[in-house]
A and B are shown apart, each in its own frame.
Chain A
Amino acid sequence: MITFSRSQLIGMEFLDEEIVRIHGTQEDHIYAMEIEMDVRIADGVILAVKGLMKRYTTPVCPQAVERLQSAVGMSLRVEGWMQAVMRDIGRNGCEHFAEIITECGRCLDQARMAKALAANLKTDPGADPGALAAAWLADHPEAPGVPLAL
């Protein structure tokens, strides 16, 4: 039997060519929270953020909602951004809000690549996704990390 479970769900809407709206939900046996934020694609800067605490453990926890506003102006692309989110949003507010924002940030460039691959495969269904992904990564050095291989 499972004695603890956590699920995260991230959805990305490209509002236009410049801004992506990210919805993040985290729910587990203890906590349930949501984040919605608008992020500038070019530099990963958070333009707006809203949070909702649905289940938490102390009567003080909801104060973290207003402290979320310190995320506005932070970039999800600069070196050390995850540590900055954990410090400024997590330690000063709520670790679980910080976990959601971090996951949203990790999805930023993945979503851009997925969008590009989907557009390419729509015009050329026979195209090789691996070659398309490699070409996109070569063209976008700002997208960090090493991809997983099959």
Chain B
Amino acid sequence: MTVAFMRNKMVEVEPLPTGNLAVHWRLSDDLIDVDMTLTFQLPDLEIVDAAANVRRSPHREGVRAGEIIRKMVGVRVGGGLRKIVRGLMGGAAGNIDLTEGVLECCNAVILNFTLPGIQEFEKYTYTTEEERLAPVRAMLQANPRLYRSCVAFAEDSPIVRGLDLKGGVS
């Protein structure tokens, strides 16, 4: 059976010569084509530049992407990010694709910094299950906020067992 609708989304993180990170995001489907670029300043991951462009949309009346996205300048990746972004982007009266796009850009920045640590895991050799879990357990110990964030870090996971995390897991 053929598909009646397709959506492609892409987000890319590009370190800039200035030391900042440019994050390029694009959504293209049967109806709309929109892109945005957010620039994050290190080390506090503050958005210092934001631009968006709608290339295709059947809707002539609605959110003007370029105008609304500039409200993201000054936002930092950190606690309360979702609430802050959704509030600035208009909440329920805002465009969901654009709002979630901003959050996906921020998530990509976090994953960009997560990737080298995971690549380090791949150099690790093990012969027992305990040894296999050791680097993941070390990562969880260093990042206890991950506790209960997914099945791998759930209370009954072998990764968590025996760790002394905040909240007294043992």
Which chain A residues have a beta carbon within 8 Å of chain B's beta carbons? 1-15, 21, 23, 28-30, 57-61, 63-64, 67, 90-95, 103, 106-107, 110-111, 113-115, 117-118, 129-130, 132-134, 144-150
Contact = CB atoms under 8 A, between A and B. Distances in A.
Contacts of A148: 32, 34, 54, 57, 59, 62-63, 65, 95, 97-98
A146 to B, nearest CB: 5
B125 to A, nearest CB: 15
Instruction: Tell me what chain B mostly uses at the interface: helix, strand, loop, or mixed.
Output: mixed
B130 to A, nearest CB: 12
Instruction: Tell me what chain A mostly uses at the interface: helix, strand, loop, or mixed.
Output: mixed
Contacts of A10: 5-7, 29
Interface residues of B, number: 60
A110 B7 CA distance: 10
Given A4-B12, A115-B4, A149 B62 contact: yes
Contacts of A132: 58
A114 B4 contact: yes
A2 B23 CA distance: 9
B73 to A, nearest CB: 20
Given A95-B150, A110-B29, A59 B121 contact: no
